[in-house]
Chains A and B, each alone.
Chain A
Amino acid sequence: MSVMNKSAKKDASPILSVRDLKVHFPISSKGLFAPDRQLKAVDGVNFDLYPGETLGVVGESGCGKSTLGRAILQLIPPTDGQVAWLGKNIVGAPHRDMQPLRRDLQIIFQDPLASLNPRMTIGEIIAEPLVTHKPELGKEEIKARVKRMMARVGLLPQMINRYPHEFSGGQCQRIGIARAMILEPKLIVCDEPVSALDVSIQAQIVNLLQELQREFDLSLIFISHDLSIVRHICHRIMVLYLGNVAELADRDSIYAAPRHPYTKALISAVPIPDPEIERNKERIVLTGDLPSPLSPPSGCVFRTRCPFAKDKCAQEPPVLERVSDSQEVACHFHDSI
């Protein structure tokens, strides 16, 4: 399936183009006249997304992956840069221009129960986007569509009048997916959609997302910290570190030959459920923790934890450089390490 997608996407034009996207949050400083500091949650991200493609956004907590997802949907206003949806920049677009676009742009959240209003029945929850965006539809039509979508995502349609707390985590995530899918959007931002679920349920939800993608030619931005799931579901992968892109590459390139030291460390840190392999594999163990995003290191933001850091890394921030058709890396020494 991904092979087909790869060939298809070269001809098509991108559905979404993000250029130099920045989200900076002002943090008030102590002291009356001290200037506010900037928390650079996302600091200059570029990528294109094609129809039917899944882009994985991975990184550790605090790397800016969720902020990026929300900034693309204009749920958090970007500080700078462009987000072009079907060729038209939507950064700073007024509410009335955004409203019709929201039909095509949906989101699924990590905590399935917390993202559902406990006082609404699941029928009302799934119908809400229809009521908002297609007020011309009659009650019966809405109900029919809701039931059809429920069946599609694996919920029994006769449960339409139940409340979210009556469902398990996996089922709640199906409700969230049904709500996102009911308008047949073109893009869904999935923000850690399976992280809160048990292993056996994770696989069900991942498979459902893949089926829906095939059926509706959906584009997905799949935000996750789980590199095993990302390898399974994504066509391309972006690795974020402190709001900066460390590496952006095709799935096969990045797992077979990661070029950025951070990507290498991340991939090697994922435990493999096979004792022989897990105990004998080579690992790059990073020392220390993620630095505070309020005072990121000078030069390359990764240098404080990088086992290969040299003087140059402290002085100049590396730019994202194309190293092959399918791989871009932001590292001064990607050739030599």
Chain B
Amino acid sequence: MTTNHILTVENLTTRFQTPDGEVEAVNNVNFHIDPGETLGVVGESGSGKTQIFLSLMGLLAKNGASTGSVRYKDKEILNLQPRELNKIRGVSMSMIFQDPMTSLNPFLKISRQMTEVLVEHRGMSESDALARAITMLDRVGIPGAAQRVHMYPHEFSGGMRQRVMIAMALLCDPEVLIADEPTTALDVTVQAQILDLLRDLQTDFNTATVMITHDLGVVAGLCDRVMVMYGGRVVETGSVSDIYYDSHHPYTEGLLKSMPRIDRADEESLFAIPGQPPNLQNLPKGCAYQERCEYVFDRCCAERPLLREFGNGRASACFREDDK
């Protein structure tokens, strides 16, 4: 199948060797990203949503290893040597993280941290690189960019630091921007500013964006397609309206129902998904969601449901679908 996908992930599995045995953080994940689209990756802590992208960026912890295939355009990039991978990551694919303070080097001025990549990858001169860094900081809404580029990370507020991170990620005009909970550490009014910025940038640069988040509100406002993760597996994918208005998987349904809504005044108690998120070290036989599912039946405990396609990029991993 020839496609114009920018990123194609096939059968990606990531395992970690731990003192307590092997943990499968990502299990047989398949997806793709097209130019200019925004993919939301939703799941709880430990669902594997971040590990997928650390795997394909070659940023896994030392005890982790991945198998499968990740293609950037037509080039296989999974498990490439760092030298080779560096031609792509930070240049064609960038990633921003939840906590901007820990992702920036506290000892280096912003100018140094921003120009490095341009000098290294683009062969720019120091002065051109600095000019480009200032333009980018200006673009993401940092007032007085020409002065502030010479400051240290601690001199910026949380929201401003996240803007710096975004500016850094966009320096080399990447085709894919992976944002891992970029607004979780921020206050709501600042979050709104950053989300607006991401939306604007996407219109301006047509960057394909992956939004990794646990916040279904953020996904609702920003994403075209959604991928829901549970226990290291994709349990449902679809367009944003499919997922929000016609979810097939009981976990997606439960997640949506358990979100308290600011636009509704309900007197009754919140819908809560019972139980705890699964322990990856000790996943039950069959469906990982069985212990918390309200529709569970015999087959769910005996057999693992596979992701079933319904066309239009719609898929769900639940045996209930067999009856539909």
Contacts and interface: CB of A to CB of B under 8 A. Distances in A.
Interface of A: 1-3, 60-61, 168-171, 198-204, 206-207, 210-211, 225-229, 231-232, 251-252, 255, 265-279, 283, 285-287, 289-290
B245 to A, nearest CB: 8
Contacts of A229: 260
14 contacts: A60-B188, A61-B158, A200-B254, A200-B277, A200-B292, A206-B269, A228-B217, A231-B261, A231-B265, A232-B266, A252-B265, A272-B221, A277-B220, A290-B157
Interface string B136-171: 000000000000000000000111100000000000
Contact of A271 (B157, B189, B215, B274): B215
Contact of B217 (A200, A267, A278): A278
Contacts of A228: 217, 259-262
Given A170-B276, A198-B214, A199-B44, A277 B263 contact: yes
B45 interface: yes
A273 B190 contact: no
B108 interface: no
B197 to A, nearest CB: 10
Contacts of A61: 158, 187
B240 interface: yes
Contacts of B276: 168, 170-171, 201
Contact of A199 (B220, B241, B259): B259
B217 A273 contact: yes
A81 B157 CA distance: 32
Nearest to B196: A285
Contacts of B92: none
Contacts of B192: 268-269, 283, 285-286
Given A2-B267, A198-B44, A285-B196, A232 B260 contact: yes
A272 B265 contact: no
* 6 closest Cβ pairs, A-B complex: A271-B217, A203-B272, A60-B187, A200-B273, A273-B216, A269-B192
B220 A273 contact: yes
A255 B262 contact: yes
B16 interface: no
Contact of B270 (A203, A272, A279): A203
A266 B188 contact: yes
A225 B187 contact: yes
A101 B274 CA distance: 36
B162 to A, nearest CB: 11
A272 B256 CA distance: 11
A229 B277 CA distance: 21
A200 B244 contact: no
Contact of B244 (A170, A251, A273): A273
A202 B255 CA distance: 11
A286 B191 CA distance: 10
A269 B191 contact: yes
A206 B260 CA distance: 10
